[in-house]
Amino acid sequence: MFCDEALDAVEAIAAGEVMPDGRVASHLATCPNCASALESARQLETSLRQRPAPAAPAQFTARTLARVRRARWRSDQFVDIGFNLAIGAVVAAVVGGVWMLFHRTGLAAVSRDAADLFGSGFVVFARRVAPSLPLYAGAALLLVTALGIWWWAERDAAL
C-alpha cells in the first residue's frame, strides 16, 4: 500500500462517503503523514460544513422585481419602436407604390384634373352652404343637448 493510494481516498473518508477498508485503515494507522492528511481533511470538512450561508439582503425581492419591470418596459419599448418603424415602412412602400403606379400608367395627369375638379367643387359647395351655417350650428347644438339629456336620464335610471 502506497501513500498516494491512501491520500486519494482521504477526502472521501473525511466526508464519510467511504469507510476505509482493511488495507487503507492499516496504512492510515501506521503512516503519520497520511494520518495527518486525514485529520486535516476532517477539519476542512467540518469548517466547510460550518461555513455560514449569507442570506439575501433586505429589499432584494423588491429590487429584483423593479429590475425585471424595467427590463420588460425596455423590451416593450423596443417592440413598439420596431412595430412603428415597420408600419411606417409599409405605409411608405404603399404610398410609393401607388405614386409609381400613377406615374407609370399616366393616371397622375388624370388625378391632377380630378383634384382640380374636386377642389373647385368644394369651393362652390362651401359658398352655397356658408349663409346657412348658423342654422346648421343651431340644429347641431339642439341635437347635442337632446343627446346629453338622454344620456343623463339613462345614467340616473341605471343608478
Q: Interface residues with another protein (CB under 8 A)?
A: 11-12, 14, 37, 40-41, 44-45, 47-49, 51, 53-57, 60-61, 63-65, 67-68, 71-72
**Cα separation of 93 and 85, whole Å?**
12
| Euclidean distance between CA atoms 22 and 28, whole angstroms | 10
Beta carbon of residue 54, minimum distance to another protein (angstroms, whole number) = 4
In the complex with another protein, which residue's Cβ is closer, 44 or 147? 44
Q: How far is the CB of 158 from another protein (least distance, A)?
A: 33
How near is the Cβ of 28 to another protein at its closest, in Å? 15
Of the pair 54, 106, the CB lying nearest another protein is at 54
Which residue, 60 or 150, has its beta carbon nearer to another protein? 60
Smallest distance from the beta carbon of 21 to another protein, in angstroms? 17
Q: Which is nearer to another protein, 24 or 37 (CB)?
A: 37
Q: Which three cell numbers stand for residue 156?
A: 340616473
Task: Give least dist CB 19 to another protein, A.
Answer: 16
Q: How far apart are CA 54 and CA 6, in angstroms?
A: 35
Instruction: Enumerate residues 6+ apart whose C-beta is below 8 A from 145.
Output: none
Q: Which is nearer to another protein, 11 or 102 (CB)?
A: 11
- Please tell me the distance from the alpha carbon of residue 157 to that of residue 149, in angstroms, as a whole number: 12
**For the stretch 41-61, what's the b/e string if a residue is b when 16 or more beta carbons lie within 10 angstroms of its beta carbon?**
beeeeeeeeeeeeeeeeeeee
